[in-house]
Amino acid sequence: MDTTLTRRSFVKWGTATAGAAALVGFTGCASSGGESGGGQQGSEAAGEWKTGACMNNCSCGSSRCLLRVYVEDGVPLRIRTDEQDEDTIEVPQRRACPRGRAQISNMMSPARIKYPMKRKGWSPDNPNGEMRGKDEWERISWEEALDYIAAEIKKTLDQYGNRAILCAAYDDIGDTYFDPVVCMFNLLGGAVHHDLGTVSLGSWPLPEMFMTGGMLAAPDALSVADSDLHILFGCNWMANKGGNTTYQLDYARQQGGKIIIVDPWLNQTAQAVADEWVAIRPGTDTAFCLGMAYHQIENNLFDQEYLDTYCVGFDAEHMPEGAPAEDNFKDYVLGTHDGEPKTPEWAEAICGVPAARIRELAEELAGAENVNFFAGQSTTKIPAGEMFAQVFYTLAFMHGGMGTPGNYASWVGLHEGMSGAPYVTAGDSSNGAQKNPVNPLTPPSLMVTPNFAEIQDPGSWEKIDFTECWQSILDGAYGRDIWPGGKKPLDIHHIYSGGYENSLNSLPNANAGIEVFRKVDFVWGANPFFDPSRQYCDIVLPVATWWEKGNLAWTNNSETVFWADRIMEPLYESKPEGYIAEELCKRLDLDPKAANTMTDEERTYASLAGAAYLVDGATMDYQPLLTITQEDIDALGVEGAPQEGIMTVAELKEKGCYKAQRSKGDKLTSVPWSAFFADPAANPLPTSTGKFEIYCPTLAAIVNSLGYSQISPIGKWQIGDPEQGQGTQTDEYPLLLWTPHSLRRAHTVNDNVVSLREAFPQECFMSSVDAEARGIKNGDLVLMTSPHGQVLRPAKVMPTLVPGSVALQDGAWIQIDEATGIDMGGDPNILQAPKASGQASQSWTGTLVQVEKYTGNITLEPDKNRPIVMPVGIEE
């Protein structure tokens, strides 16, 4: 049989509707030659191995990995990962997880948008918005699509102004992730973005900033082994990162460190590397830590000298000037003034951890010399999540030793891109274009919420918070009555859905999001894939993937600079966002080069020339990473200057990456807060008192000024929302929902990959106790219901999950059954409560739900057999 496969026949075959199931076998992991890939088409002599970017957003940067892609006749056929060099803890290989290894199936997915399309029922005079998500599609030319879009942009601006446009795309103009279309909107005067508060970071940014002075104090991958005890809250690095973080944590255990993971279920990381698992109800870590603090205070198991020297607010004798003495943390825990001691028994009633176990852990913490306190970002995705952040830091300060080797308190894992100085960086290849005039406020550090005391003109900016975005648009106003001028009016008529963001799928109360998409005058999207956010558009444009752009040095962690080849030419009619932005600028009387400021060659050169490595962490001495010759510059056809580095451009391209070269105790090693510990008077922290602030009035003032929730200057247990979280359950909604990560997806990326659907089905995780009470067995179809929507999923009944809670992993693509309104795709945001909290952060954990055995008429195929959603009406 002739097995020769050309690019033309591959594309035609691989992206046909029936190709979804076929791609599973075609890109399987092991060929007969031992390489990762898909069979024996052709011979390696006929093709070449290239380096393919893995741009999955795997919950922060340390898990960005190396992909090597075998390409023949322009077609990617096999994939493997990092094999070079010895795999050591000092310089580990950057090996890809299942999501990375499935990238051929992702890039070649039937879900690719092939060419510009328009809804059949849409016209400029009659948008028929109620048909979005249900209508058939028709193919149109690029010229038609761009003409339509430009005309609709002009119409919106003329009738309603810039604040009528929602730019549902990442507003970051960073070193890699930029969208020239966003820059184009900025040139037009800006647009509204739904990026007030945080999505990924929970409630951590402001407590970290104002309590500790803004240092993200995670240990690096080698220093983590200096700790005797690691207590990790909400940590499942094996699923949400999939790279070397669990390997490094296991190394710390092998060096004698004990690992305790506190989590609602015995997750993959706990199974693999933990010495102990503490089962806890979701969203109740605050009460658990307060119970431990009580036992330590009651038995004098804390470092009073450290607290007196380095902290303010622990007890009445060490309050900041002007603060009420009775508002100290110690008296709150003891119940001195409120009459409610936060005993381990009190904590057990809330968090479910036995009081005796809380006491044992409190004593174990006190007895360990060096402790690594770590909390996952999701631990503060609760109402008044700042309260847990404050109690978490306070418990660490009570132990003492912060500022010495082995003692850490952090909410980002190891030495990621957000933690400390990066060891290596790529050059800035971003657009360098104008920022959004509708929101000129540039927040400091990770402070992504406004400080109204510093805003001269509150009307000069416009940001909707992520969590309440959809309901705010429906209501026509957002914010809080206590804001200067009260709630801000909101009148959205036009939505751009692009910039690598699948917001309809990713923000809570997704049913309200669908209603918004159907309500406005015009919706257009640009993306490689026909995901839920593009399915509810009027016009969609096909965007080239990173494999089709490439030729870029990039990084998104602190330890590796990657090279990304152009793996293949853009499939079908897909084009880069720069083309879209330039063509729209031409139609809108703007300078195209003002939106897309660099050519591809200039972007390549900038990424290479600006790459640097850290020589000495103490002096922050960065030196050029790459040797660039005049020949390299001439080959790109750009202007530039030769430079000397430690690696040639050719070597970077051949190896695919440069890894920071580490050794124990090297000049890159840093100990957070060490200077402050050595001499707190000479090296004060950048907090209001110069010390760690257990009592933090700045934090409370800013959070309370926003009006999303009121918090105390000290960490307390408060439910924060009378309709969400432990203690608010009802007979109708008795269970608490939380949303762990899945190896099937990186948030919403990869949910179109059939092999990953088969390996990691989207299931309703529930405890054996709750399942038995409802007559549910493993594999039964269950209907998950909240006040905001319904989801149909098979049950995964587990003895290793805390009773009273259920989990649905994040990111599954929405697929609404229009007859019933039930989501068959399994997106938890159909269920999630749209409740912003604190610094406008999301407070999704603890949404109240009910789960019942399904008795309806819908037949739900296994995920691996469910068809990939395709545009209806298009004839191939």
Query: If 0-12 CB within 10 Å is exposed, 13-18 middle and 19+ buried, where does residue 830 land?
Result: buried
Helix/strand/coil for 858: coil
**In degrees rounded to 5, what are phi and psi of residue 106?**
-70, -50
Question: What pLDDT does 240 receive?
Answer: 77
Helices 577-587 & 142-159, crossing angle to 10 degrees?
A: 60
Helices 355-367 & 344-351, crossing angle to 10 degrees?
A: 120
Locate tokens 């002009």: which residue?
154
Report strand pairing: 789-798 vs 805-808: unpaired
| 323 CA to centre of own chain | 37
Cα–Cα distance measured from residue 694 to residue 696, given in angstroms and rounded to the nearest whole number? 6
Alpha helices in 538-599 (DSSP H): 546-549, 577-587, 592-595
Question: What pLDDT does 432 receive?
Answer: 62
Cα–Cα distance measured from residue 332 to residue 335, given in angstroms and rounded to the nearest whole number? 5
Cβ contact 431:403 at 8 Å: no
Cα–Cα distance measured from residue 426 to residue 424, given in angstroms and rounded to the nearest whole number? 7
Cα–Cα distance measured from residue 702 to residue 8, given in angstroms and rounded to the nearest whole number? 59
Q: What is the CA radius of gyration of the chain?
A: 27
Helix/strand/coil for 807: strand
**CA-closest candidate to residue 322, choices 697, 847, 779:** 697
Report strand pairing: 75-81 vs 67-72: antiparallel
Q: Write the DSSP assignment of 146-203 as a string of letters.
A: HHHHHHHHHHHHHHT-GGGEEEES-----SS---HHHHHHHHTT--BEEEES-SSSTT
Cα–Cα distance measured from residue 865 to residue 863, given in angstroms and rounded to the nearest whole number? 5
Q: Write the DSSP assignment of 383-395 as a string of letters.
A: TTTHHHHHHHHHH
Quick one: tokens of 228? 């005797």
**CA-closest candidate to residue 388, choices 843, 836, 716, 711:** 716
Cβ contact 222:662 at 8 Å: yes
Determine if the pTM surpasses 0.95.
Answer: no
Cβ contact 713:313 at 8 Å: yes
Question: What pLDDT does 293 receive?
Answer: 98
CA distance readout (Å), 14 to 417, 553, 757 = 36, 30, 18
Report strand pairing: 137-139 vs 258-263: unpaired
Query: If 0-12 CB within 10 Å is exposed, 13-18 middle and 19+ buried, where does residue 722 land?
Result: exposed
CA distance readout (Å), 768 to 125, 311, 711 = 56, 45, 36
Cα–Cα distance measured from residue 125 to residue 600, given in angstroms and rounded to the nearest whole number? 38
Q: Which residues pair with 523 in a beta bridge?
A: 495
Domains of the chain: 7-107 (no CATH), 216-411+679-693 (3.40.228.10), 735-853 (2.40.40.20)
Question: What pLDDT does 451 receive?
Answer: 58
Locate tokens 């080797």: which residue?
405
Cβ contact 780:811 at 8 Å: no
Cα–Cα distance measured from residue 850 to residue 845, given in angstroms and rounded to the nearest whole number? 15
**For 556-635, where are the E strands, in sequence order?**
560-564, 612-616, 621-624, 626-627
Cα–Cα distance measured from residue 17 to residue 19, given in angstroms and rounded to the nearest whole number? 5
Query: At a CB cut-off of 8 Å and minimum separation 6, what does 529 contact?
Result: 109, 111, 112, 113, 752
Quick one: tokens of 562? 């990657």
Helix/strand/coil for 265: strand
**CA-closest candidate to residue 680, choices 695, 692, 670:** 692
Helix/strand/coil for 873: coil
Q: Is the dihedral of CA 491, 497, 503, 508 positive or negative?
A: positive
Report which residue type is found at 237. Answer: W
**In degrees rounded to 5, what are phi and psi of residue 530?**
-85, 70
Cβ contact 531:111 at 8 Å: yes
Give the pLDDT means over successive 10-residue stretches in the chain (876 positions).
39 37 37 39 74 73 76 95 88 89 93 96 96 97 98 98 92 57 92 85 91 83 93 89 81 95 95 96 97 98 98 97 96 97 98 98 98 94 95 98 95 65 85 62 43 61 88 95 88 94 94 98 97 97 94 85 95 95 97 92 94 90 97 96 97 94 90 94 96 97 89 92 90 96 89 94 98 98 98 97 97 96 97 91 92 95 91 78
Q: Is the dihedral of CA 346, 350, 355, 360 positive or negative?
A: negative
Query: At a CB cut-off of 8 Å and minimum separation 6, what does 867 contact?
Result: 17, 20
| 659 CA to centre of own chain | 24
| 736 CA to centre of own chain | 22
Cβ contact 776:795 at 8 Å: yes
Report strand pairing: 258-263 vs 229-233: parallel
Cα–Cα distance measured from residue 408 to residue 388, given in angstroms and rounded to the nearest whole number? 17
**In degrees rounded to 5, what are phi and psi of residue 614?**
-85, 125
Q: Which residues pair with 850 in a beta bridge?
A: 785
Q: Which residues pair with 562 in a beta bridge?
A: 554, 657
Cβ contact 113:534 at 8 Å: yes
Residue 172: CB atoms within 10 Å: 15
3-state helix, strand, coil in the chain (%, to 5): 30, 20, 50
Cβ contact 745:100 at 8 Å: no
Quick one: tokens of 220? 């690096």
CA distance readout (Å), 104 to 4, 10, 49, 56 = 19, 12, 14, 13
Calculated CA dihedral for residues 344, 347, 351, 354, nearest 10 degrees:
20
Report strand pairing: 612-616 vs 424-425: antiparallel
Cα–Cα distance measured from residue 296 to residue 305, given in angstroms and rounded to the nearest whole number? 15
Helices 180-187 & 577-587, crossing angle to 10 degrees?
A: 20
Helix/strand/coil for 143: helix
Cα–Cα distance measured from residue 521 to residue 473, given in angstroms and rounded to the nearest whole number? 13
Burial pattern 182-191, b for ≥16 Cβ within 10 A else e, equals bbbbbbbebb
**CA-closest candidate to residue 793, choices 747, 761, 753, 751:** 761
Cβ contact 257:325 at 8 Å: no
